Amino acid sequence: MGGSDAFGDRLAEAVRRTGVPGCVGLDPHLDRLPDAVARGVSPAEAARIFCLGAVEAVAGVVPAVKPQVAFFEALGAPGVAALEEVVAAARAAGLLVVLDAKRGDIGSTAEAYAHGTLDDDGPLGADAVTLSPYLGPESLAPFLVRCEQGKGVFVLVRTSNPGAGPWQVDGPDPVAPRVAAWVEAESARSAGATGLGSVGAVVAATVRDEAAAWRAAMPHAWLLVPGFGAQGGTLEDVRALVRPDGLGALVNSSRGVLFPRPGVGEDDWRAGIARRAGELAARLAPLGPGGAVSGKGAPKV
Amino acid sequence: MGGSDAFGDRLAEAVRRTGVPGCVGLDPHLDRLPDAVARGVSPAEAARIFCLGAVEAVAGVVPAVKPQVAFFEALGAPGVAALEEVVAAARAAGLLVVLDAKRGDIGSTAEAYAHGTLDDDGPLGADAVTLSPYLGPESLAPFLVRCEQGKGVFVLVRTSNPGAGPWQVDGPDPVAPRVAAWVEAESARSAGATGLGSVGAVVAATVRDEAAAWRAAMPHAWLLVPGFGAQGGTLEDVRALVRPDGLGALVNSSRGVLFPRPGVGEDDWRAGIARRAGELAARLAPLGPGGAVSGKGAPKV
């Protein structure tokens, strides 16, 4: 699928529409939820209320949200039910949903994960999902089938944690460049009008000296970029991951948007999220499709 | 923790008690569930009934079960609720539960996965969980904390799919041996009276020519061995993965126990699972603690 229903094209359209090459992570850390949300309800209900509020607050401001599955799963079946509702609400609000699940398995099990995360007749029906590549290219095949049907994936290539090196990029023949080569081949094959495909990669914001090389290694791939903001990545760190036309990267911020700085109270948590999402958008817009033209602000293209 | 509450020791005790170095995978493939189970109920309810029946049928026959999370997640929140019930029933029946989730993430997200899969005050409280190592040694740290508290992990090292090579073992400096070295260091550090620790590895049954080398690379590690039976691995393929004392490997069979051969009907699906579990036990027992002594059958040690 290379038409306008392809995920790569849909994401390009959403980034152009908002002017923002970024997304907001939905990580309902229980110990950081506002008292007004958590008081008197179950943890899963608190996560549900909080994330539905966040969806409402960021819709129209950023092109996408990235729910972190782990935080919902930790709450058991009611948490998973909350996740289903949050994903549905985000899609209904016009946000693309990148499910951060880092799944990876083989054969019929990989097929079950693909169905469970992406299929519209499955429980979640997200637009895209993050994948872990350790089990080899063939383990990703069931997800590629979904990429032919309008969905997308982001395969872990270079992650943002300080200890990612040993099993990704260290040594004379590390695995990460090989995964990147596979991503580039698949994204080129699925590239639409924008030259960007539906098979993307996760590349961290925290390794600035590698950014240009990863961008050059995967010219047709959307890059999902964690590590911005709370994890230490700066605008300069991510600049080289965005293409000159402002497309090609989706910079994520989770805690920096969801929660006030530690020790800072706020009267209205929804308004706080909306305000911080606006600040994120304003920071990222100069790198986006509008910023590439004007050099400042976030004019629509 | 090196005492008898350590997972490595608990698994040794369970293998000795049953005489069987193997486990049964709980993979509720919807399209293969017996009509008597699936008729007139929701998919999640069918999975629940089937897996609870399987737990009852294999308890006392094998030391452990390995629920495959993907099949439950594909059924949404009711599927996850079914998984919770199946895990609880297995533990209550005296089976160790190895949750096949292949999780891998960083920081507070990895912590959420560790809580969600292993903690007894979390939704599942499994005895052990499978992990994917792509994000580096530090990403496994929250799980090591649980290994100090009686829980276990099996880190993907060498998987059973034909296409596993490119990103695991191919090239001049592949990642799998590095992951194995880390597993060995951690399992040696946590080794109890049996010389086996709580940090194990997944090593496939389908790569016979590598088996002795993986065993030698991780002498203190429990090996979880997929690929036996339906995936093509034979008794000879797994022999070199078991230590001479019959401990150190847990050979998994899922479809071969759960389902009759395609085209073969059966009147009583529970009895069918019990019979096939008995056949699996009889096949594996010669490699186990009793078989190491007698060379045949499954005498208790």
* Contact of B136 with A159, CB cutoff 8 Å: yes
Find out whether A47 and B88 touch, Cβ atoms under 8 Å: no
Residues B69, B73, B77, CA angle at the centre, nearest 5°?
A: 130
Pairwise pLDDT comparison (B233 vs A133), residue with the higher score: A133
For A170, other C-beta atoms within 10 Å of its C-beta total 15
- For A158, nearest residue in chain B (alpha carbons): B135
Q: With a cut of 80, say whether residue B34 has pLDDT above it.
A: yes
Please name the member of B110, B116, B137 whose beta carbon is closest to the beta carbon of A73. Answer: B116
Q: Residue B123 and residue A77: Cβ atoms within 8 Å? A: yes
B227 versus B9: which is more confidently predicted?
Answer: B9
Coil, strand or helix at A26: strand
d(CA B7, CA A237): 43
pLDDT at B294 over 60: no
Residues in chain B closer than 8 A to A106 (CB atoms): 159-161, 164
User: pLDDT tens digit string along B141-159?
Assistant: 999 999 999 999 999 999 9
DSSP label at residue B62: B
Extract the tokens encoding B17: 């008690």
- The secondary structure of A114-180 as a DSSP string is HHHHH-TTSS---SEEEE--TT-GGGGHHHHHHHTTT-EEEEEEE-SSGGGGGGTT-SSS-SHHHHH
Residues in contact with B298: Cβ distance below 8 Å, sequence separation at least 6, in sequence order = B19, B20, B281, B282, B285, B286, B288, B290, B291
Res. A262 pLDDT band, cuts 50 70 90: confident
Q: What is the pLDDT of residues A220-235, one digit of tens each?
A: 999 999 989 877 889 9
pTM: 0.95
Six token digits for residue A14 = 């959403």
Are A104 and B102 a contacting pair at CB < 8 A?
yes
Q: Average pLDDT in the A19-34 region? A: 97
Residue among B68, B133, B163 minimizing CB distance to A109:
B68
What pLDDT was estimated at residue A301?
37
Residue with tokens 């799998």: B176
- Output the average pLDDT for chain A: 93
A92-101, A261-270, B73-82, B234-243: segment of lowest average pLDDT: A261-270
Per-residue tokens: A217: 């290694």
Q: Rounded to whole angstroms, how far apart are CA atoms B180 and B186?
A: 10
Closest CA to A59 of A70, A47, A51, A68: A51
State how far the Cα of A136 lies from the Cα of B168, in Å rounded to an integer.
Answer: 7
For residue A32, the 8-state DSSP code is G
Over residues B104-122, mean pLDDT = 97
List all residues 6 or more positions away from B261 whose beta carbon is below 8 Å from its beta carbon. Answer: none
A163 touches chain B (CB under 8 A): yes
- Please check the confidence at residue A12 and state whether its pLDDT lies above 80: yes
Q: According to the model, what pLDDT value does residue A5 have?
A: 93
Could you list the active site residues of A? 102
Provide the pLDDT for residue B140.
Answer: 97
The verdict on a CB contact (< 8 Å) between A134 and B168 is: yes
A174 contacts in B (CB within 8 Å)? 173, 175
Say if the Cβ atoms of B70 and A105 lie within 8 Å: yes
DSSP character at residue B249: E
* The dihedral formed by the CA atoms of A118, B203, A138 and A242, expressed in degrees to the nearest 10: 70
Q: Which amino acid is at A140?
A: L
Q: Tell me the mean pLDDT in the region A1-24.
A: 89
Q: Which long-range contacts (CB under 8 A, 24 or more apart) does B293-298 make?
A: B298/B19, B298/B20
pLDDT over 90 at B265, yes or no: no
**Predicted pLDDT of residue A4:** 65
Check CB contact under 8 Å for B172 and A173: yes
Is residue A105 within 8 A of residue B70, CB to CB? The reply is yes
Phi, psi of B64 (to 5 degrees): -155, 160
Q: Which two structure tokens, joined as six digits, stand for B45?
A: 């309810």
At residue A280, does pLDDT exceed 90?
yes
Q: How far is CA B221 from CA A98, B16, B37, B182, B199, in A?
A: 36, 17, 38, 11, 6
Q: Which of residues 86-105 of B touch A (CB under 8 A)?
A: 100, 102-105
ipTM: 0.95
B2-12: b (≥16 Cβ within 10 Å) or e? eeeebbbbbbb
Q: Which CATH number among 3.20.20.70, 3.10.20.600, 3.40.50.1820, 3.40.50.300 corresponds to the domain B7-291?
A: 3.20.20.70
In chain B, the percentage of residues whose pLDDT exceeds 90 is 86
CATH fold, domain A7-173+192-291, is TIM Barrel (3.20.20)
Q: Contact, B168 vs B188, CB < 8 A?
A: no
pLDDT of residue A292: 54
User: Mind listing the pLDDT tens digit for each residue in A165-191?
Assistant: 999 999 999 999 999 999 999 999 989
Contact A27 B81 (CB under 8 A): no
List Cβ neighbours of B249 (8 Å cut-off, separation of 6 or more).
B21, B222, B223, B224, B225, B238, B241, B242, B243, B287
Residue A263 has pLDDT above 90, yes or no: no
What is the structure's pLDDT at B3? 47
B297 pLDDT exceeds 60? no
What percent of chain B has pLDDT above 70? 95
Say if B113 is an interface residue toward chain A (CB within 8 Å). yes
Count other Cβ atoms within 10 Å, centred on residue A120: 12
Q: Which residues pair with B98 in a beta bridge?
A: B128
The DSSP result for A243-263, as a single string, is: -TTS-SEEEEESHHHHSPPTT
Measured between beta carbons, the chain B residues lying within 8 angstroms of A123 are: 73-77, 79
Q: Which of residues 61-90 of A touch B (CB under 8 A)?
A: 68, 70-71, 73-81, 84
d(CA B38, CA B32) in angstroms, rounded, equals: 9
d(CA A16, CA A290): 8
Indicate if the pLDDT at residue B56 is higher than 90.
yes
Q: Looking at residues A138-143, what average pLDDT do you find?
A: 97
The pair of three-digit structure tokens given for residue B167, joined into one six-digit string: 């990103």
Lowest mean pLDDT among A128-132, A247-251, B90-94, B192-196: B192-196
- Helices first, then strands: H and E counts in chain B: 13, 8
Sign of CA dihedral B10, B16, B22, B26: negative
Mean local confidence (pLDDT), A90-114: 98
Q: Which of A117, A17, A108 is nearest to A59 (CA)?
A: A17
Task: Give yes or no for a contact between A198 and A187, defined as CB atoms under 8 angstroms apart.
Answer: yes
Residue with tokens 């479809």: B255
Known catalytic residue at B300: no
